């Protein structure tokens, strides 16, 4: 009887400590059977130590955390979601997330991270989603995402990325969405997307891409959406897009300074006839060059400029053909004349032979 009362008392104490967050770092709110720890806007400058081991979602957004030291979350191995957006993180030290073998989503957007070291991704074996938008990344190399082979969604929007080494994305063969909008890419070298066989969405809008190498999109055999809007492309190779071997892909190309010469128009005419490619914003494409066509819609100049060119080409072709034909006819006549002369000679020789016989 006495023991039961003690037990009851203990349980009551536990319940009250839960409801008042006694197991929880001050500033955090631990709820939902201690599966959620909400610690946002609490002024933390480092990851808090006292978060229940049962926590599956830890929200540390809107604090002032500066770095993520090694094994920062070693007592929270059950975490599935870790939110660290809107802090002041400039470095994730090697192994900062190393114990989080169940973590599925990590949000590090709106921080000041300028480099991803090899140790950054150690231990994140089942991570599905990584948000890194609005940081200070400038380059990606083969170590940046080394241990993220389960990643499906990567958001790198709004960094200053201008170089991507050929093997940077290679470890992420399960990746489905890659968001690279609003960075500083100027060219797409073939090979940078070579291992992304599962990639469905590739968003490259708002960069400074002027050049796309012909084979660069070829490995992306699952791609359904390619967004190249708001870049610096004035021309494209037909083969760059022809090499996309998918079932169906939507391509966005608005907001580029197109040079609407006849080459470009030919390329687009051919592209639009490819059944599996959908140029969704074709009717919105505007010309920047040549100067007379500035801010015209590409589809409007379609008939004006190039028909004129076609007519010119046709006239030149016809002129050349006529000249050649005339020359041939003249040549034939001359040959016949000469032949006539010569055939008389043969006749004569024949007669001579005849005489001999």
Ligand X SMILES: *[C@@H]1O[C@H](CO)[C@@H](O)[C@H](O)[C@H]1NC(C)=O
Long-range contacts of 73-76 (CB under 8 A, 24+ apart): 73/47, 73/97, 73/99, 73/100, 74/98, 74/99, 75/49, 75/51, 76/51, 76/100
Q: Measure the CA–CA gap between 131 and 151, rounded to whole angstroms.
A: 11
Supply angle C-alpha 144, 230, 270, rounded to 5. Answer: 105
Minimum CB separation from ligand X for residue 57, in Å? 18
User: Is 111 among the residues that bind ligand X (CB under 6 A)?
Assistant: no
SS3 19: helix
Q: Is 270 one of the binding residues for ligand X (CB under 6 A)?
A: no
Site for ligand X in 302-321 (CB under 6 A): none
Are β-strands 29-31 and 67-68 bridged in parallel, bridged antiparallel, or unpaired? unpaired
- Which residue of this chain has its Cβ atom nearest to ligand X in the complex? 133
155 binds ligand X (CB under 6 A): yes
Smallest distance from the beta carbon of 241 to ligand X, in angstroms? 17
Q: Are 213 and 238 in contact (CB under 8 A)?
A: no
Please answer whether residues 285 and 297 qualify as being in contact, where contact means their C-beta atoms are separated by less than 8 angstroms. Answer: yes
Alpha helix stretches (DSSP H) within the chain: 2-19, 238-242, 262-272, 298-356
Stretch 215-254: interaction string toward ligand X, x if CB under 6 A: ---------------------------------------x
Separation of alpha carbons 46 and 87, rounded Å: 10
Q: Which two tokens stand for residue 168?
A: 């940077």
Token duo for residue 17: 């400590």
CB-wise, 88 or 303, nearer to ligand X?
88
Q: Which is nearer to ligand X, 72 or 76 (by Cβ)?
A: 72
Taking CB under 6 A as the rule, which mask of x and - marks residues 167-186 in contact with ligand X? ------------x-------
Tokens of 178: 């890659």
End-to-end CA gap in the chain: 151
In the complex, least distance from residue 84 CB atom to ligand X, rounded to whole angstroms:
12
Stretch 2-21: interaction string toward ligand X, x if CB under 6 A: --------------------
Q: Which stretch binds ligand X (CB under 6 A): 73-81, 128-136, 240-248, 326-334?
A: 128-136
Tokens representing 68 are 């993520």
Binding to ligand X by residue 200, rule CB under 6 A?
A: no
Number of residues that bind ligand X (CB under 6 A): 13
- Helices 262-272 and 298-356 meet at what angle, rounded to 10? 100
Q: Which of 109, 111, 152, 227 binds ligand X (CB under 6 A)?
A: 109
Q: How far is the CB of 88 from ligand X (least distance, A)?
A: 4
Count of other CB atoms within 10 angstroms of residue 81: 17
* Min separation Cβ 108 and ligand X, Å: 10
**Residue 46 binds ligand X (CB under 6 A):** no
* Cα–Cα distance for residue pair 355/357, rounded to 1 Å: 5
* Chosen residue from 41, 46, 64, 276 binding ligand X by CB under 6 A: 64
Distance of CA 187 to the CA centre of its chain: 12
Shorter beta-carbon distance to ligand X: residue 213 or 281: 281
Query: Considering the rule CB under 6 A, would residue 280 count as an interface residue with ligand X?
Result: yes
Q: Is residue 281 close enough to count as binding ligand X by CB under 6 A?
A: yes
Q: Where along the sequence are the contacts to ligand X (CB under 6 A)?
A: 64, 88, 109, 131, 133-134, 155, 157, 179, 254, 280-281, 284
């Amino acid at each position: 009887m006495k023991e039961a009362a003690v037990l009851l008392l203990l349980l009551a104490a536990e319940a009250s400590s839960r409801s008042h967050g006694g197991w929880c770092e001050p500033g955090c709110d631990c709820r939902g059977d201690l599966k959620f720890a909400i610690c946002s806007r609490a002024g933390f400058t480092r990851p808090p130590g006292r978060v229940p081991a049962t926590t599956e979602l830890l929200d540390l957004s809107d604090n002032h955390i500066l770095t993520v030291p090694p094994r920062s979350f070693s007592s929270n191995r059950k975490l599935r979601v870790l939110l660290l957006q809107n802090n002041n993180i400039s470095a994730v030290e090697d192994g900062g997330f190393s114990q989080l073998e169940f973590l599925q989503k990590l949000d590090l957007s709106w921080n000041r991270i300028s480099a991803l070291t090899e140790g950054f991704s150690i231990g994140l074996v089942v991570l599905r989603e990584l948000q890194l938008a609005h940081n200070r990344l400038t380059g990606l190399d083969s170590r940046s995402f080394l241990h993220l082979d389960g990643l499906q969604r990567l958001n790198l929007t709004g960094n200053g990325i201008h170089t991507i080494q050929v093997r940077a994305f290679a470890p992420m063969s399960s990746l489905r969405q890659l968001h690279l909008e609003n960075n500083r890419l100027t060219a797409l070298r073939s090979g940078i997307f070579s291992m992304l066989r599962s990639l469905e969405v590739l968003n490259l809008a708002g960069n400074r891409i002027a050049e796309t190498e012909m084979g660069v999109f070829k490995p992306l055999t699952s791609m359904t959406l390619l967004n190249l809007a708001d870049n610096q492309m004035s021309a494209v190779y037909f083969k760059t897009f022809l090499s996309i071997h998918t079932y169906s892909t939507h391509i966005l190309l608005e907001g580029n300074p197109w040079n609407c010469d006849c080459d470009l128009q030919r390329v687009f005419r051919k592209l639009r006839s490819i059944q599996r490619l959908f140029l969704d914003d074709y009717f919105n494409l505007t010309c920047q060059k040549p100067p007379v066509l500035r801010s015209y819609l590409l589809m409007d100049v379609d008939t004006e400029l190039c028909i004129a060119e076609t007519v010119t080409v046709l006239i030149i072709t016809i002129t050349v053909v006529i000249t050649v034909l005339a020359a041939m006819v003249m040549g034939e006549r001359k040959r016949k004349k000469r032949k006539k002369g010569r055939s008389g000679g043969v006749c004569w020789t024949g007669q001579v032979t005849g005489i001999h016989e």
